[in-house]
Amino acid sequence: MNRLIAHGLIKINGKYLLIKRTKEKREKANLLPDYWDIPGGMVELGELPREAVVRETKEEVNLDIEVKDILHEDSNYDKEKDIVFTRLVYWCELLDSEDASNIVLQEDEHSEYRLVNDLEEMKNEKIVDYLIDTIRNLNKKYK
């Protein structure tokens, strides 16, 4: 079986939007608790990955976005679940009227957000591993 995960990297006023995962999600242990991540999640049946990024971003941070370009792809096999998970990370831009003042976190999934210029600002924090590659690819494409 295969499952798609879609995420969106968003810049607001020149800074990357990062969100911190809660310890618990819907009263169960959260995957990668206290890690900094970006908006995203599972692609639902019949949904395109780009549509999932738009939906997940609205659900998780209350922002309306436009999906621009793919920045990262990775896959891994979960033996326990017998599922191949493939993650797609897109470069996204806010729609015209959106800014940081519109951010409202989905509190059962994320405890806080930060806007950072660079991941160096997060060197003492736990960061999801794919984010480093994603930002590197963004910097190569959009210098």
What residues are paired with 92 via a beta bridge? 10, 67
CATH fold of 2-141 reads Nucleoside Triphosphate Pyrophosphohydrolase (3.90.79)
In the chain, what are the domain boundaries? 2-141
HSE (CB half, 13 Å, CA atoms) of 82? 1
Residue spans of alpha helices (H) in 6-110: 49-61
Q: Using CA atoms, how far apart are residues 22 and 1, in angstroms rounded to an integer?
A: 28
Per-residue pLDDT of the chain (143 residues; tens, 9 = 90+): 899 999 999 999 889 999 999 977 666 766 788 899 999 999 999 999 999 999 999 999 999 999 999 999 999 999 999 999 999 999 999 987 767 788 999 988 899 999 999 899 998 999 999 998 898 888 777 65
Tokens representing 125 are: 């924090």
